[in-house]
Each structure stands twice: as structure tokens, then as C-alpha cells.
A and B are shown apart, each in its own frame.
Chain A
Amino acid sequence: MRPDSSDAGLPLHGLGKHRIQAEIKRLEQEARFLEEELEQLEKMEKASAACREMIRLVEGRPDPLLPGTKGPINPSWDRWFEGPQESKNCRCWIL
């Protein structure tokens, strides 16, 4: 299921020289990418920095689907309860 994260090498049974060489090139390229990523990780912030930023962003933006939201409220958010709709579950009818 996870060829990408288990063993890096594919089975070589029955493969010719050219296919094995291509597979070696692929692995060597991947090793270079992984080394780059390791280098980047050395300079990376911990997860808590991203969590802090996410909370700030989420709470700073108005959201029509929340019971409590930052303003301003846009009246057009409630257009779904005006005009033709189902007879059941109609907010206007309930009111």
C-alpha cells in the first residue's frame, strides 16, 4: 500500500541492465531530494509556531456557518432562507 514509505528499492527480478540503471538513478535522485529536505528541516520552526498562526487566522475571519463569528455580518449570508425552498425545515415558516 505504501511503496513510498517502506522499502525504497523495488524488486529487481527479471529486470534488464537498463531498467536497473534507471532505478538506481531514481534512487540517487531521491536521496539528493531527501538530503535537501533534511537541510531545510534544520532551519525550520517547531509546529507550535504554525499552530499559533493558525488560531490567529481562523479567529480573525468572519464565518457565516459559525454560531459565533467575528463581524461584520453580511445580510446576503441569509439568502438561503428567502424565496423558494422546501416546505420542511423552512426557517421563515418556523418563525
Chain B
Amino acid sequence: MSVTELKERHRVAAETVNSLRERLKQRRIQLLDTNVADYARAQGRTPVAFGQTDLVCCRTLQGHNGKVYSLDWTPEKNRIVSASQDGRLIVWNALTSQKIHAIKLPCAFVMTCAFAPNGQSVAYGGLDSVCSIFNLNSPTDKDGNLPVARTLSSHRGYVSSCQYVPDEDNHLITGSGDHTCVLWDISTGLRTSVFGGEFQSGHTADVLSVSISGLNSRLFVSGSCDSTARLWDTRVASRAVRTFHGHEGDVNTVKFFPDGNRFGTGSDDGTCRLFDIRTGHELQVYHQQHGRNEIPHVTSIAFSISGRLLFAGYTNGDCYVWDTLLAQVVLNLGTLQNSHESRISCLGLSADGSALCTGSWDANLKIWAFGGIRKVI
């Protein structure tokens, strides 16, 4: 077949795809008979009302000398690992505010970190395209540094995000600037599966975030600079289970909703969105009006343990607490007393949902908890 004939076939195939996409879009619009907020309002629900001292900053974890980029809680024991521009990981006891480990990194350009489910190891990744594992029980070397226990290398771009598979200390999923996600077997240091890439149906730009379902650990979502989020099944690497459209900018952060059947996203377009994984419906857009030329990007999100609250950090220093049912901002942690002095770059909830940790470019982490009087409904 000549190049001219191939180009014609290509044109026809592209037209078919564009037409199918449009039909899908129209069909989806027909199925979106409401959104969460309209539905909840029609059912008589009212927004969560916080008092002045209900959500308070009860700890400031000081120790980093640079911007905090990432944090993760252990499933138990109130411990947090944080990664900073200063080239260190710090493992904290969040209850006492004490540093348990300060780990000097071989590559200082860190972007992400994660705690293993058993709390004995931490992982980090960054601009060196490698994800490295530290065993917290290893003896330090002669310079007092913790040695790298395992190096996971094969990504051809920066490692933007990593998360251990729940209840599996030997498996971890990474997202990368090479447009792929990888499931790793830490014990062998080898890739178990690659999701996306040049010859597969996957993201067409950098992957910025991954989140594994707490309900079914075979499912995870990824957010990308191609403005989409994708749902993957670790047993089927060849293609995404579903692609979620809607955002009009990089999807910087994705996080599973507590029930595992939905997930949230945060984007450069200034919105957070809630998607249903079974139907693919975009159930809600969380958007606050700003001035014409100042749309702060969403950097990080986390849900409260019931899913009623969505915490979202923005590039302008705001940290909105959204009522997920009414799609209203019910509090801004960025304006409270003792708040951060710069952008909140990462967020995470303790395993029992009793505390939120925020990490900021002001080099600090803060713990927020409910300090008011609780009513049982």
C-alpha cells in the first residue's frame, strides 16, 4: 500500500474515532440527569456547618529546610513520612511531633514518598526516574545514612507518584513522566506490569498521580497532563478500564473515595471533580469562582473517612474544605489561625480519619483535628 493510500486510511480511522467520541459524549450527557449537589439539595440536605474552633491546627512538624512536596501516613501508629526539596525524607511520630528518622537521599530531587503498609519501609521517587526503597530497620552506614535497600528502575521519565498496594508490602505502583504507570515486585526489583506506553492504550502525557482502591486493590486510577484520569485493573495492563474526561488542564492529583466506587481529581483548571468508576459519570464539579486571570491550580486532595468532606490544596495557599454533597466550601484552612505561610502542596488523612496532615512550601507539616464538641446524629 502506498503512503498516499495509508494516509487516506489514517484519515478515515481518525474520523471514525472522532465521531464515536462525540456519540459517547452526547450519550453521557443524556445520562447525567442530575449531579450530587442538586440531588442532595432536592433531598433537603444542608451544608456542614463548622464553628470557629472546630477544625484546628494541633501540631506543627518542623524539621525540613525546604519545600515539602509529599507526605504519607502509615496505616497504624500515627507515623508520617514526608519528602522535601531539602533532599531528605523525615519519618515523624505525629502524636509527639518527634522525628524518628531523617533520611538523606542519594538523589535530592524528590517528588513523592510512601509508607509501606507494615510501617517498616518507605519509598521515594523523583527526577532521577527511579523509585528507591529504604528499610527503616537497616543499620546506618559509616556516615550515619540509611542505605537504599532496593532500587526500582526502568521508568524513562521522572517518578511523580508512588503508592504501596494496600496490605502488600512487596508491591508498589508508580506514575511517571514517561506516560506510564508500573506495578513493581519489590522483592525482585522487577516490573510486574506496565500500564500505558507507546504501543498501548494509555495516557498520552506525563502521569502525575496514582491512587489505589482501598476496596479492591487490583484497581487504581491515574491522573495525567493529558487532562484525563484513567482507571486500571492490574490484571489487564494492555488497556485502561475506562478513561475519564472533563478536566481542561493537567490532572495533578487523584484520590479514591472511601467506598472505592468513586474517585476525586484536582486539576490545573482549578476544579476538583468526582467520578463514578462503574458508570464513568462525572457526578460533581467542585469549583469556586475566582478573578478572570487568577485560577489557582489544585495541588492535592483528600477525602474525610466518610467522604462528606473533600480537602483541596490550591497554588494560592488556600485549602478549601468542600462539603462533597452540597458542593460548597465550608471552611478554608488557609485562612485559619496557625495556618501555613505558603502553598499547601500535599494532604493526607490518618488511617482512622481523625487527623489531616498538610505539607507546605513553608517547609512545615501541620496536623489538623476536630477540637469542637461533637454531636452524634
Interface residue ranges, A against B (CB under 8 Å) = 1-5, 7-9, 12, 17, 20-24, 26-31, 33-35, 37-38, 41-42, 44-48, 50-55, 57-59, 61-74, 76-81, 83-86, 88-91, 94
Contacts and interface: CB of A to CB of B under 8 A. Distances in A.
Contacts of B97: 84-85
A38 B26 CA distance: 10
Most chain B beta-carbon neighbours within 10 Å: one of A5, A38, A41, A53: A5
B243 A69 contact: no
Given A24-B10, A50-B276, A64-B354, A83 B96 contact: yes
A65 B354 contact: yes
B79 interface: no
Given A4-B243, A5-B228, A46 B28 contact: no
B24 A38 contact: yes
Given A58-B306, A66-B309, A89 B352 contact: no
A31 B16 contact: yes
Given A24-B6, A63-B353, 8 more contacts: A8-B14, A48-B34, A51-B35, A59-B306, A65-B369, A77-B354, A85-B58, A89-B58
A34 B126 CA distance: 34
Interface string B109-149: 00000000000000000000000000000000000000000
Nearest to A84: B96
Contacts of A21: 6
B27 A46 contact: no
A9 to B, nearest CB: 3
Most chain A beta-carbon neighbours within 10 Å: one of B11, B201, B325, B377: B377
B376 A69 contact: yes
A63 to B, nearest CB: 4
B21 A47 contact: no
Interface string B295-334: 0000000001111110000000000000011000000000
A3 B226 contact: yes
Interface string B19-61: 0110110011001111110011001010011110111111110
B347 to A, nearest CB: 13
A4 B242 CA distance: 13
Interface string B359-374: 0000000010111111
A63 B9 contact: no
Given A41-B27, A55-B40, A68-B375, A27 B16 contact: yes
Contacts of B24: 34, 37-38, 41
21 contacts: A3-B226, A4-B228, A5-B245, A7-B14, A20-B3, A37-B242, A41-B27, A42-B27, A44-B280, A47-B283, A48-B34, A54-B259, A61-B306, A64-B305, A68-B48, A69-B377, A74-B352, A74-B354, A77-B370, A88-B338, A91-B58
Nearest to A71: B376
Interface of B: 1, 3, 6-7, 9-11, 13-18, 20-21, 23-24, 27-28, 31-36, 39-40, 43, 45, 48-51, 53-60, 78, 95-97, 199, 201, 204-205, 226-228, 239, 242-243, 245, 248-249, 258-259, 261-262, 276, 278-281, 283, 304-309, 324-325, 337-338, 352-356, 367, 369-377
Contact of B9 (A24, A46, A48): A24
Contact of B33 (A48, A64, A65, A68): A48
A9 B31 contact: no
Contact of A44 (B3, B31, B199, B248): B31
A55 to B, nearest CB: 6
